[in-house]
């Protein structure tokens, strides 16, 4: 049998298979899947890469499209070529989708990095500002009387209760409260004065 005859025979077999599928013959649909599945998988693997996990999904989707559009197939090329074109289209669409996802992921990661860097900088600035304020306050505390500095540190830094301070200093609680109020006022005046001096 000549090559030309073989081609005609193959074409007739394809036409018969397609017509059976179009008539709703489930056996014919299974035969079509069995006949072309491996070829379609190789096509997808060639486009996506060897053992790509999406290749099998592309084959399944290609068959779904092929069965839906089979009535449009005009036998101008072998059936497997038409099926391979569908596979290639789906694979390239999948690659474009992956690339978009990578770009989006890169943008998200860049934004996260920028936000993290900004937050770190703000935190460092806040820490530095807080340190400067504490240093300034300590300098001001050194300029007031020893009694005031001690009682304000006991109340502020050490967070002792009025009762504990009174017991430690051996003074009544009322005296503790009035002395703290007086010392705070003295410190406030000193802070205000020192702030104005720094601005000059």
DSSP assignment of the chain equals --HHHHHHHHHHHHHHHHHHHHTT-HHHHHHHHHHHHHHHHHHHHHHH-TT-TTHHHHHHHHHHHHHHHGGG--SSS-HHHHHHHHHHHHHHHHHHHHHHHHHHHHHHHHHHHHHHHHHHHHHHHHHHHHHHHHHHHHHHHHTS-HHHHHHHHHHHTS---HHHHHHHHT--HHHHHHHHHHHHHHHHHHHHHHHHHHH-
Q: Residue 6: pLDDT above 50?
A: no
Of the segments 64-68, 119-123, 131-135, which one has the largest average pLDDT value? 64-68
**What does the alpha-carbon distance between residue 48 and residue 59 come to, in Å, rounded to a whole number?**
12
Q: What is the residue-averaged pLDDT of the chain?
A: 82
Tell me the pLDDT tens digit for each residue of 74-103. 888 889 999 999 999 999 888 888 887 777
Tell me the pLDDT tens digit for each residue of 143-174. 888 888 888 888 887 888 888 888 888 888 88
Q: Which domains does the chain have, with CATH numbers?
A: 3-103 (1.10.1740.10), 143-200 (1.10.10.10)
Percent with pLDDT over 70 in the chain = 88
Tell me the pLDDT tens digit for each residue of 11-37. 778 889 999 999 999 999 999 999 999
**What does the alpha-carbon distance between residue 150 and residue 5 come to, in Å, rounded to a whole number?**
111
């Amino acid at each position: 049998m000549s090559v030309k005859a073989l081609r005609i025979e193959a074409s007739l077999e394809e036409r018969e298979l397609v017509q059976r599928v179009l008539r709703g013959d489930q056996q014919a649909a299974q035969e079509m899947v069995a006949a072309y599945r491996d070829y379609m998988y190789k096509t997808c693997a060639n486009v996506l890469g060897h053992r790509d996990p999406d290749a099998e999904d592309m084959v399944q989707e290609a068959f779904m499209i092929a069965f839906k559009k089979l009535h449009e197939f005009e036998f101008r090329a072998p059936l497997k070529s038409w099926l391979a074109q569908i596979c290639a289209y789906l694979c390239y669409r999948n690659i474009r989708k992956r690339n978009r996802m990578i770009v989006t992921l890169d943008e998200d990661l860049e934004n996260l990095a920028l936000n993290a860097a900004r937050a770190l900088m703000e935190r460092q600035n806040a820490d530095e500002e807080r340190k400067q304020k504490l240093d300034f306050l300590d300098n001001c505390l050194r300029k007031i009387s020893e009694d005031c500095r001690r009682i304000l540190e006991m109340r502020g830094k050490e967070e002792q209760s009025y009762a504990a301070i009174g017991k430690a200093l051996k003074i009544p609680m009322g005296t503790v409260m009035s002395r703290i109020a007086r010392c705070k006022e003295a410190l406030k005046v000193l802070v205000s004065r020192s702030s104005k001096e720094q601005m000059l």
